[in-house]
């Protein structure tokens, strides 16, 4: 996925952030956004100061915003500023409600967001810090496709047996338990599971640039 520019809600007064984005070389355009304040393709970001975050929790706006943001694949709430300097202002926001310490209300709110919405809430020191994140996200989305995909194992292997199990776990719908079941029936031999009777010779891999004796030995111990 690539994005041409960052869209900023036209109703959001943000001269400092616009200057930072220009300085950091991030192209942007102001337009009316029905949901969120910043938009990069499927990445929708709701920008809030700490006082706005707290106030929107207390009056219920935040919860409706989070529901609306579900229309995007990657919603996020960005909270910017010094939380502790904002606590005094927050403590004056009661509007007839029973008083709850702002720090307690924020913790409870964050727990509710995590439990009920799963939307990430990221915290930034100031507008510069936030704009550096926007720059990083913009650059990441526009990077060329990786030549090598990362491989995610169900756990970190501690033995040759577990490495063999992880090989089978790369197949969709194969759990660790199913991998163990298959391998145990064939004396933990990958070749036997595959119906290959002859051992593989990995010596020819030494002709491949970057492949040495150690890797060849590890391949043999796993597959033979």
pLDDT in tens, 116-153: 999 999 999 999 999 999 999 999 998 855 455 555 55
Fold adopted by 6-141 = Rossmann fold (3.40.50)
CA distance 19 to 15: 6
Provide the pairing of β-strand 38-40 with 6-9: antiparallel
pTM for this prediction: 0.63
Structure tokens of 212? 């040495």
pLDDT tens, position by position, 31-61 = 999 999 999 999 999 999 998 898 898 888 9
pLDDT digits (tens, 9 = 90+) for 101-113: 778 888 899 999 9
CA distance to 20, 67, 70, 102, 154, per residue, from 26 (Å): 9, 29, 26, 35, 37
Phi and psi at residue 89, in whole multiples of 5°? -60, -40
The pLDDT, as a whole number, for residue 64 is: 94
Ranges of each domain in the chain: 6-141, 160-223
């Amino acid at each position: 996925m690539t994005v041409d520019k960052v869209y900023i809600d036209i109703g959001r007064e943000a001269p400092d952030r616009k200057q930072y984005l220009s300085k950091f070389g991030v192209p942007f355009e102001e337009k009316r956004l029905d949901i969120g304040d910043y938009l990069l393709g499927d990445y929708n970001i709701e920008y809030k100061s700490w006082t706005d975050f707290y106030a929107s929790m207390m009056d219920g706006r935040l919860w409706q915003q989070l529901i609306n943001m579900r229309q995007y694949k990657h919603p996020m709430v960005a909270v910017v500023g010094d939380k502790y300097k904002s606590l005094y202002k927050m403590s004056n926001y009661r509007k007839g409600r029973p008083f709850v310490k702002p720090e307690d209300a924020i913790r409870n709110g964050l727990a509710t967001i995590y439990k009920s919405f799963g939307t990430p809430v990221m915290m930034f020191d100031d507008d510069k810090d936030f704009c550096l994140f926007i720059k990083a996200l913009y650059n990441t989305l526009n990077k060329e496709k990786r030549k090598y995909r990362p491989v995610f194992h169900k756990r970190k292997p501690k033995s040759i047996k577990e490495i063999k199990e992880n090989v089978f776990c790369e197949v969709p719908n194969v759990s660790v338990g199913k991998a163990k079941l298959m391998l145990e029936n064939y004396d933990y031999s990958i070749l036997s599971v595959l119906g290959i009777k002859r051992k593989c010779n990995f010596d020819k891999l030494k002709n491949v640039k970057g492949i040495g004796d150690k890797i060849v030995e590890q391949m043999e111990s796993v597959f033979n």
